Amino acid sequence: MKYATVTTSVFLVLAFSCLPVSAGEYRQNELIVKFKPVPGSSHVMVAGKENRPVIIAVDNAREALGEMQGRDDVEYVEPNYLIEAETIPADWPYDAAQWSALELPDAWDILDRHGPGHPVTIAVIDSGVDAAHPDLQGILIPGYDFANNDGIPEDDAGHGTKVCGIIGALGGNGIGVAGVAWNIDVGIMPLKFMKNSDGKTTGSLSDAVSAIYHAVDNGAHIINASWGFYSYSYSLSDAIRYARDHGVMFICSAGNKGQDNDTNDHYPSNYPYENVIAVAAMNSFGELASFSNYGLSSVDIAAPGVGICTTDKNGGYSTWSSGTSFATPFVTSVAAMVRYLSPGLKVTDIRSILLGSVIAGEGLDLQNIASGGCINAYQALLSEAQYDTSAKASAPGTGADDNAVASGESGGGGGCLIDSGRNPGSPLSLVITFSLMVLFRMPFMRHSG
């Protein structure tokens, strides 16, 4: 089970000293340390009341690690690991084909019939965003750049801009693409901790942890984490648990090594917390993508992750983005739809709705993940309508048409939500949006593994 009892930090710290750590996987001159609470003082990574880890400068991380582990005032110490975005090269060899049905148009119709809902803030902890992109105007809210320590999280890698576009690229404006959650009141908070480094999109563990605390402390309802690495981190575990305790969903990618995460750890997707949803990538034939990690206990759900069309840096568009990085924002978007209608739901409720409404079988080959199926927006919203009547009744300003079902034909999810300027839920736009796959590929660029 994913939610097995977590081993105590003391044991894990002692065990860590026996594990091999590659020198290229962490910063050589830094360690992350969480000191034990001392009356009258505090140690914080960012402003807050909780005792949070700090970054300390050292001459040699490996040597200093052993020295710090022996101190009585240290709760845990670990390397400042390097993290990579989980992207697949743009020339991944898949032929164009239609995605298995996600029933997005019917979900959009439910949202339209419902009327105004409750604003949802999504923190995209990634490589920043192209704030000037015409298809992202009006949905971005102030963020932060932890990689460069300033308030301008400009994207120099493109990865974060792609994730943001999948979530909320403007629909009905007649240009580019439409995001999955294009027709709800969503605010995307870009928190940059990764940047372009020799053709890869990478960042430090400490900056990722700082971004999580910032997201929670600044009102995020959902965190999208399209990145990962293969070492256990105590500070990252603390931060995700902090998000859970404040009612924040943490939706993350399962990784791109094609491995079984039940037997080979991947983080943050393997953390056993109720707010964590680990997302695998499926191809347009309804199969688990060959690069995607899986796990009957550790990976929760699948979403489109091959050949995705989305926004890119410099005001452009990517026509063939692949990886669990890009499957993750599909699930994030549906979680946002559910919360838009029912802000009173707990993280455990949203998790149950998303995983309980998956589409399984029916030509899909997704048996190696916990839910056995892929995200389905329409079924999730139907489940939401039945799941939390009391929460909706207690929240002001909620419409009454939650159970309305569109009479139009249901459509399949697509790798490219082409924005024709029409309502993406209309029959004509269904043909444009979901029956066509982009046949052109962007120049090769490798972000990471």
Higher pLDDT pick, 19 / 349? 349
Q: Determine the pLDDT at residue 399.
A: 38
- Give the mean model confidence (pLDDT) for residues 118-140: 97
Q: What distance in Å separates the CA atoms of residue 273 and residue 281, rounded to the nearest whole number?
A: 21
Question: In the numeric block, which tokens belong to residue 283?
Answer: 């191809």
CB 339 within 8 A of CB 221: yes
Q: What distance in Å separates the CA atoms of residue 137 and residue 153, rounded to the nearest whole number?
A: 15
Handedness of CA 207, 213, 214, 216 (dihedral sign): positive
Higher pLDDT pick, 50 / 338? 338
Helix (H, G, I), strand (E, B) or coil at 96: coil
Q: Determine the pLDDT at residue 389.
A: 59
Q: Determine the pLDDT at residue 69.
A: 87
- Give the mean model confidence (pLDDT) for residues 312-339: 96
E-assigned strand segments in 164-316: 186-192, 194-197, 200-204, 222-225, 227-228, 249-253, 276-282, 301-304, 308-311
Q: Determine the pLDDT at residue 70.
A: 83
pLDDT class of 60 with cuts at 50, 70, 90: confident
pLDDT class of 63 with cuts at 50, 70, 90: confident
Q: Determine the pLDDT at residue 59.
A: 85
CB 229 within 8 A of CB 85: no
E-assigned strand segments in 298-355: 301-304, 308-311, 317-321
Nearest C-alpha neighbor of 366 from the set 292, 282, 307: 282
pLDDT class of 53 with cuts at 50, 70, 90: very high
Q: Determine the pLDDT at residue 388.
A: 56
Higher pLDDT pick, 221 / 390? 221
* Percent of the chain predicted with pLDDT > 90: 59
Nearest C-alpha neighbor of 121 from the set 376, 277, 335, 304: 335
Question: In the numeric block, which tokens belong to residue 113?
Answer: 């019939």
Q: Which of 106, 109, 126, 312 is catalytic?
A: 126
Q: Determine the pLDDT at residue 253.
A: 98
Nearest C-alpha neighbor of 347 from the set 236, 181, 224, 221: 221
E-assigned strand segments in 110-157: 120-126, 144-145
CB 179 within 8 A of CB 414: no
Q: Whole-angstrom distance between the N-terminal and C-terminal Cα of the chain?
A: 27
Question: In the numeric block, which tokens belong to residue 109?
Answer: 């119709």
Question: Cβ contacts of residue 18 below 8 Å, gap of 6+?
Answer: none
Q: Determine the pLDDT at residue 422.
A: 38
Q: Which of 159, 214, 266, 447 is catalytic?
A: 159
CB 234 within 8 A of CB 68: no
Q: How crowded is residue 356: how many other Cβ atoms within 10 Å of its Cβ?
A: 13
- Verify whether residue 325 is a known catalytic residue: yes
In the chain, what are the domain boundaries?
A: 9-81, 85-434
Superfamily of domain 85-434: Peptidase S8/S53 domain (3.40.50.200)
Higher pLDDT pick, 35 / 97? 35
CB 344 within 8 A of CB 397: no
Q: Which of 231, 292, 325, 371 is catalytic?
A: 325
Mean pLDDT of the chain: 81
pLDDT in tens, 335-384: 999 999 999 999 999 999 999 999 887 778 899 999 999 999 999 999 99
Q: Is 384 exposed, middle or buried (0-12, 13-18, 19+ CB in 10 A)?
A: buried
Q: How crowded is residue 361: how many other Cβ atoms within 10 Å of its Cβ?
A: 11
- Give the mean model confidence (pLDDT) for residues 283-312: 94
By mean pLDDT, which of 193-202, 378-387, 405-414 is the weakest? Answer: 405-414
pLDDT in tens, 246-282: 999 999 999 999 999 999 999 999 999 999 999 999 9
What are φ and ψ of residue 24, in 5° steps?
-80, 0
Q: What distance in Å separates the CA atoms of residue 210 and residue 191, rounded to the nearest whole number?
A: 10
The answer, yes or no, to whether residue 193 has pLDDT greater than 90, is yes
Q: Determine the pLDDT at residue 172.
A: 84
pLDDT class of 433 with cuts at 50, 70, 90: very low
The answer, yes or no, to whether residue 187 has pLDDT greater than 80, is yes
Q: What is the pTM of this model?
A: 0.81
Q: Determine the pLDDT at residue 135.
A: 96
Q: What distance in Å separates the CA atoms of residue 351 and residue 247, rounded to the nearest whole number?
A: 12
pLDDT class of 50 with cuts at 50, 70, 90: low
By mean pLDDT, which of 13-27, 162-176, 348-362 is the weakest? Answer: 13-27
By mean pLDDT, which of 3-17, 94-108, 373-387 is the weakest? Answer: 3-17
pLDDT class of 298 with cuts at 50, 70, 90: very high
- Verify whether residue 126 is a known catalytic residue: yes
